[in-house]
Amino acid sequence: MPLPRWYALALAERGVTEAPGAADNATVQAYYKDAGHPHVTHDSVPWCAAFVGAMLARAGFKPSGSLAARSYLSWGTKLEAPRQGCIVVLKRGKGWQGHVTFFDREENGRLICLGGNQSDSVCFAAYRKNLVLGYRWAS
């Protein structure tokens, strides 16, 4: 099965990192803009939802419209189980906080996901399944 376009675009962004110190990475700034938030100009603002939104927008889908990771819980179509390229919304912190990323595969009982603002970069990271709030698919 071919990769969803938004996920193929996300894979091509691997290696993008925040700029050190007070500097800002223009690529990360473009994620905010493409996700519909051109007023955000600093890569120190949490950007996981901006990354997901930018990849969706570049693939022709309307993003959630929010920079809150949990906004993707009500976006698209709910999936009961993950499939490659789906959006994964994870618990982080308390209340409204969270993280949003793209599912790649399962390995040793953990979800391997590609996302933005994972160790201040676009990279793969492993997450425990008990952190999952939902899986979503573009529709």
d(CA 85, CA 12): 13
d(CA 75, CA 72): 5
Residue 114: its H or E element: strand 110-118
The strand order across the sheet containing 87-91 reads 77-79, 132-137, 87-91, 98-107, 110-118, 121-128
Residue 30: per-residue pLDDT: 98
Residue 95: per-residue pLDDT: 78
Q: How far is CA 67 from the centre of its chain?
A: 10
CATH number at residue 50: 3.90.1720.10
Residue 78: per-residue pLDDT: 98
Asked whether the beta carbons of 131 and 90 are under 8 A apart, the reply is yes
Residue 55: per-residue pLDDT: 99
Q: Answer yes or no: pTM beyond 0.85.
A: yes
Q: What is the pLDDT of residues 95-125, one digit of tens each?
A: 778 999 999 999 999 999 999 999 999 999 9
Domain housing 58: 5-137
d(CA 91, CA 100): 9
Low-confidence ranges of the chain (pLDDT < 50): none
Asked whether the beta carbons of 53 and 42 are under 8 A apart, the reply is no
Domains held by the chain: number: 1
